[in-house]
Amino acid sequence: MTDDLLSNCRPILGRVTDLLAVETSAGSADAVAGVRITPVDAVGLEQRAALLCTRSIKTSSKAAALDLAIRVMDLTTLEGADTPERVEALCTRARHPDAADWSVPPVAAVCVYPELVPVAAKELADSPVAVARVAGGFPAGLAPLDTRLAEIAWAVAAGADEVDIVLNRSAFLSGRYQKAYDEIAAAKQACGSAHLKVILETGELGSYDQIRQASMLAMVAGADFIKTSTGKIGTSATPAVALCMAEAIRDMAEQTGRAVGLKLAGGIRTAKQAWHYLVIVGETLGSGWLTPERFRLGASSLLNDVLMQRAKLLDGRYQRREDFSVD
Amino acid sequence: MSDRLVVNKTYKQFIGGAFERSESGRSYPVAGAGGELLANAVQGSRKDVRDAVAAARSAQAGWAGRTAYNRGQILYRVAEVMESRRDEFSAEVARAGDGCSYEAAAQETAAAIDRWVWYAGWADKFSTVLGGANPVAGPYFNLSVPEPVGVVGMVAPDEPPLLPLVSRLAPVIVSGNTAVVLASERCPLVAITLAETLALSDVPSGVVNILTGHRNELVPPLAGHVAVDSLDLTGCDAELAADAARQAAATITRVVSASAAERQWADESAQSPYLIDAFCETKTVWHPKGR
């Protein structure tokens, strides 16, 4: 099993390394010359991730962690049933997550489908909350490249501050790394000044080695953030995947000095999960990454649980889920 | 035959259909009538209360959504399963707390089983007795229907260990409520054996959750929990009951306690359809009927 894995990985690792070497010799890639991609120790990774999730957090730190979790949250709605009214309501929540308590900080961004960007941009015009949108043939990333790039450019023009695209897994998994790389680089160009987040959809990549390679590829290609999942498939962010990507970001920063952000999304529903991820990121990347500029939690139902735990800390009573917003 | 090693049962809490130790990892010794150690029981914590309430909450809609007939069948099934373990229950009751003769314990066990049967029969009848069509002037039907309040937090009396627990629990769940029960602090073991029969009787996971531990520690978080809709404080002393009632008032939780007549556990006065009503909310609807 181990032998199989290694013999399968070596040529792939070689190819990615070659790719990085080729690309890095051309222009913008100077800064990333010599990036190494080492194999991942899957057992050690999972063990360390599990260990970090057992960290006990005391009450005062808990309060700070809950506020931080809100400040780094990308409040997301990506459903076919999204209406302008629904997005308006979401934007109101984004500015003041708890209508009864304005001491709760605003979230980092609201993440919506392209069509609804103008609505969100209008609602959030005079607020610190950014507008993020998914683009590039979300969630599969298999629309024609021209269409995807046009979609990105349109959204940026419509007021999106951040763009979430998906890695072309079809190209990546079949070994066409150059194609996957070129598409991200082209998307970065289409983004202009907007931040580019690249979704790896880790649940479809198959192994931690592949996740690490995809992370490196996306970062070298120009991603400002790398993101775990679309939230549209069963398997999404897990502690081990978060740790794997955080380590890739750390290695990238150590080797090139470039700080790339991390966004975790999909399946994060409870405040407890949120602060486990804060611990993983804090321990791996340092407190410099615990800011909305470098770390995000993409979620839709997480905010309710965080508000509920916050109320519990302030009030001392266990709260009732029904007392918090439905959406 | 060689001497066997003793195989003792670990009495664990019953939360969401599973038998679990406390999140806190603690336990406390339970003494029998002669002061001898019967077993170590789980010493639950406020986080166990939180987990149990969450389990009760998520089970409630499904339990209330079943037909009354089905709930009645399930309560009768509890009686059936207890009946097949009568000897075990009687032996446990006899050595719990101050202890009693085996005959007295067998009597208590039989009364507890009969109580399940009694309330099982009420399952599809109480709404007719407690609700019904109200006479109104005008071309309307006016119907009142008792509906379960939701999650009920219960503090079981200390002694006797079995019959009071069943007498208070059966009327709570028969209407579609779910329960978080704090078992007798002094005699918690029989309650856990009861939980084993509930687990085998098609009672869905989370409908009854039984915690063991110290009242002073567990009652305040249970009484203050916003998701608890009603409290039965029958097992609390005056001071603890007053404190719990204050906590309950802050979250508008209904507080119930057994009357003196209801505390005659072996008597018929301990069972009544009005006890089912105590944990119900009456919904009244108007419906046009024409002339």
CATH code: domain of residue A240 = 3.20.20.70
Residue A320 lies in a domain: no
Nearest CA in chain A to B247: A317
B227 to A317: CB separation less than 8 angstroms, yes or no: no
Lowest mean pLDDT among A310-324, B30-44, B157-171: A310-324
Residue A45 lies in a domain: yes
Residue B1 lies in a domain: no
B53 to A318: CB separation less than 8 angstroms, yes or no: yes
Please, which residues have CB within 8 angstroms of residue A125's CB and are 6 or more apart in sequence? Answer: none
Nearest-CA distance from B56 to chain A in Å?
A: 12
A317 to B50: CB separation less than 8 angstroms, yes or no: no
Q: Kindly state the average pLDDT of the residues A262-266.
A: 92
d(CA A49, CA A280): 7
- A213 and A13 Cβ atoms separated by less than 8 Å: yes
Q: Kindly state the average pLDDT of the residues B29-38.
A: 91
Q: Residue window 233-272, chain B: list those with CB within 8 Å of chain A.
A: 247, 250-251
What letter would DSSP give residue A165?
A: E
Residue B151 lies in a domain: yes
Q: Angle B92-B95-B99 (CA atoms, 0-180°, nearest 5)?
A: 130
Q: What would the DSSP string read from start to end of chain B?
A: -PPPPP-PPPB-EEETTEEE--TT--EEEEE-TTS-EEEEEE---HHHHHHHHHHHHHHHHHHHTS-HHHHHHHHHHHHHHHHHTHHHHHHHHHHSTT---HHHHHHHHHHHHHHHHHHHHHTTTHHHHH-EEPP-SSSEEEEEEEEE-SEEEEE--SSSSSHHHHHHHHHHHTTT-EEEEE--SSS-HHHHHHHHHHHTTTPPTTSEEEE-S-HHHHHHHHHH-TT--EEE-TTS-HHHHHHHHHHHHHTT-EEE---TTTT-TTSGGG--HHHHHHTEEEEEEEEE---
Tally of domains within chain B: 1
Residue A315 lies in a domain: no
Nearest-CA distance from B153 to chain A in Å?
A: 14
Residue B190 lies in a domain: yes
d(CA A198, CA A196): 6
CATH code: domain of residue B261: 3.40.605.10
Residue B2 lies in a domain: no
pLDDT per residue as tens digits for the range A248-258: 999 999 988 89
Tokens of A93: 């929540």
The answer, for B218 touching chain A at a CB cutoff of 8 Å, is no
B224 to A319: CB separation less than 8 angstroms, yes or no: no
Confidence band, pLDDT 50/70/90 cuts, at residue A4? very low
d(CA A166, CA A137): 8
Give the start-end residues of each E strand in chain A: 73-76, 109-112, 130-134, 162-166, 195-199, 225-227, 261-265, 295-299
Residue B112 lies in a domain: yes
Q: What's the mean pLDDT when you consider all of chain B?
A: 95
Residue A321 lies in a domain: no
What is the structure's pLDDT at A1?
A: 35
Q: Which residue in this structure is represented by tokens 């931080």?
A: A68
Please, which residues have CB within 8 angstroms of residue B126's CB and are 6 or more apart in sequence? Answer: B146, B174, B175, B273, B276, B277
Residue B244 lies in a domain: yes
Residue A317 lies in a domain: no
Instruction: Specify the 3-state DSSP secondary structure of A122.
Output: helix
Q: Kindly state the average pLDDT of the residues B238-260.
A: 94
Residue A254 lies in a domain: yes
Has residue A193 got a pLDDT over 60? yes
Residue A325 lies in a domain: no
Nearest-CA distance from B49 to chain A in Å?
A: 10
Confidence band, pLDDT 50/70/90 cuts, at residue A33? very low
Tally of domains within chain A: 1
pLDDT per residue as tens digits for the range B9-22: 999 999 999 999 99
Lowest mean pLDDT among A7-11, A120-124, B260-264: A7-11
Range of the domain at B199: 13-288
